[in-house]
Structure 1
Amino acid sequence: MAFKRVSLIVAVAENGVIGKDNDLIWYLPRDLKYFKDTTAGHTVIMGRKNWDSIPLKFRPLKGRDNVVITRDKSFRADGATVVHSLNEALETAEKAGDEEPFIIGGGQIYKMALEQNLVDRMHITRVHEKFDGDTFFPQFDEEKWKLVSKEDLDPDHRHKYSFSFCVWDKNNLSQ
């Protein structure tokens, strides 16, 4: 495929949790803005459960081509393209001319993308707290990745937890 890169974006607790009961656990406005700004103008690829977790008033995510992956052949998502595999989702992004589609979750989609070695860059917001959850970000081998940027943010009146914006590139991308 003719991408500059395939990226993923996720917010992860210290213990790997990314969600519970198909919902976000924390509220970090700076992280939501980072997500919006980083994915703006790109294709966002997500699983059906992730699509369902987005409040109706925000679906589809504005300013982005929304692609939903599901095994359910009869599933419809207003304002989004429905596909049945990660490769089909990436082909959809390529046909749309996107040079950097973003995989935005959930846990199963992240796991598939990493296992299939499809991701070139990871935007990981590390929430510096442990949470009870039922959805996790998969472990990855940090030896195969290079941390190219990190910004630490402290708690404040709008953010209960400290967190860090981290960008990881595959080691062979930015030597």
Structure 2
Amino acid sequence: MSRPAVGLVWAQAHDAAGRPVIGAGGVMPWHLPEDLAHFRRVTTGHPVLMGRVTWDSLPPRFRPLPGRRNVVVTRQEDWLPDDAAHPGAPGTGVVVASSVEEGLALASAAAEESGSEQVWVMGGAQVYAATLPLADRCVVTEIDLEVDGDAFAPALAAGPGGDWELGGVGPDAPGAPDGGWQTSAAGVRFRMLTYERRR
């Protein structure tokens, strides 16, 4: 089996300068149930890689994220999540890595062990930046909302001459009505796009 594909998944709004905001103060400054459901559909059954701050931002009742091996990267040598004593079913639970490289190796091994062909990176900004050069795809929920943030998504060079090609999933494919934009139950416009690395 070849190495599992590496995907990055995130939701982003924008700030007053148009920068893609993914967080503020360690949390997402919006509530979009449709994106949470989308994230669960995309990542369940596959290992997920995250930094410690992202782990801490998850509601305790959802840690570790069920149905996925959770790999947490931290520089704190003595850090262990409270949830580490409850690993759950094989291929689930949480393991700790001291670097992004070690985390990717652990997530890839977990994918191979479980028969998955995909590893998903779920934040934060530093982990996205470190893994973007290795990524095969990025799944991005764009939210038509201006927010103040302190964490930003990596820049994707899409279009002619860029490293990334815009694709889509189902109704979110290019050419979908209104560019794939939908209105959430919360009244906010959003769309879900997939970017594939050009080969």
Q: TM-score, normalised by structure 2?
A: 0.80
Q: Which residue of 2 aligns with 1:140?
A: 156
Q: For residue 131 of structure 1, report the CA deviation from its aligned partner.
A: 1.0
> How many residues of Structure 1 are paired with residues of Structure 2 in the alignment?
169
Contact 1:45-1:67 at 8 Å conserved across structures:
yes
Moved more, 137-146 or 37-46: 137-146
The structure whose Rg is larger is: 2
In structure 2, runs of 5+ residues without a counterpart are 85-93, 173-179
Q: Which whole-Å CA distance do the structure 1 matches of 2:3 and 2:190 have between them?
A: 30
Q: Which whole-Å CA distance do the structure 2 matches of 1:138 and 1:93 have between them?
A: 21
Q: Which residue of 2 aligns with 1:102?
A: 120
The secondary structure found in structure 2 opposite 1:165 is strand
Q: For residue 101 of structure 1, report the CA deviation from its aligned partner.
A: 0.5
Q: TM-score, normalised by structure 1?
A: 0.91
Q: Which residue of 2 aligns with 1:112?
A: 130
- Give the partner amino acid of 1:162: R
Contact 1:2-1:94 at 8 Å conserved across structures:
no
- Give the partner amino acid of 2:41: D
In structure 1, runs of 5+ residues without a counterpart are none
Q: Which whole-Å CA distance do the structure 2 matches of 1:16 and 1:41 have between them?
A: 28
Q: Which whole-Å CA distance do the structure 2 matches of 1:153 and 1:75 have between them?
A: 41
Across the aligned residues of Structure 1 and Structure 2, the Cα RMSD in angstroms comes to: 1.5
- The structure where helix makes up a greater share of residues is 2
Q: Which whole-Å CA distance do the structure 2 matches of 1:2 and 1:82 have between them?
A: 24
- Give the partner amino acid of 2:188: Y
Q: For residue 9 of structure 1, report the CA deviation from its aligned partner.
A: 0.3
Alignment of 1:50-89 (within 5 A): 50-77=54-81, 78-79=83-84, 80-89=94-103
Moved more, 75-84 or 39-48: 75-84
The secondary structure found in structure 2 opposite 1:71 is coil
1:44 paired with 2:63, answer no
